Amino acid sequence: MLEKIDHIGIAVKNADASIAIFNALLNQIPIKEERVESENVRTVFYKSGDSKIELLEALSDESAIAKFIEKRGEGVHHIAFAVDDIYAEITRLKNEGFVFTRDEPFVGADNKLVIFIHPKSSNSVLIELCQEIK
């Protein structure tokens, strides 16, 4: 089951510049910051009620975030839904015709097992499924 929106990912050119903006907007400082070397990104998380905002800065030109910004500019990059059983959801959604960007979930930021649905099968919105690693 897609339980709730876990976070909204926002692609930014410079996380330090964006931290200043989001600190002022949300009237708080980030709850955590993490580099995901496998994805070549630096992530910065804010809390907003039950959900989070994830700022994503590319650490190299090879990063998907760098390519996204080059094509579409900064802005909303993905919506992440929390799931209780990521493998069951992948099977269910594949049966519904959704296409994933990878075959298997992988360890992403924030201690989560994650996988992405290709935007071509979800109205041009990149969707992340994430399950807490216990």
Residues within the interface to Zn ion (CB under 5 A):
9, 54, 80, 128
Least Å distance, CB 90 to Zn ion, is 16
Neighbours of 56 (CB within 10 A): 25
- Which of 92/113 has CB closer to Zn ion? 113
The minimum distance between CB 19 and Zn ion, in angstroms, equals: 17
Q: Which helix (H) or strand (E) holds 9?
A: strand 2-12
Residue at shortest CB range from Zn ion: 9
Which parts of 29-126 are beta strand (E)?
A: 32-36, 41-48, 51-58, 75-83, 106-107, 112-117
Question: Considering beta carbons, is residue 57 or 128 the nearer one to Zn ion?
Answer: 128
Tokens describing residue 127: 């969707």
- Taking the least distance from each CB to Zn ion, the nearer of 80 and 90 is 80
Q: What is the b/e burial string over 76-87, where b = at least 16 CB atoms within 10 angstroms of the residue's CB? A: ebbbbbbbeebe
Least distance (Å) between residue 60 CB and Zn ion: 18
Nearer of residues 10 and 23 to Zn ion, judged by Cβ? 10
Instruction: Please give the Cα distance from 5 to 112 (Å, whole number).
Output: 14
d(CA 47, CA 92): 29
Q: Least distance to Zn ion from the beta carbon of 6, Å?
A: 8
- Considering the complex, state which of residue 80 and residue 95 has its C-beta at the smaller distance from Zn ion: 80
Least separation in angstroms between CB 52 and Zn ion: 9
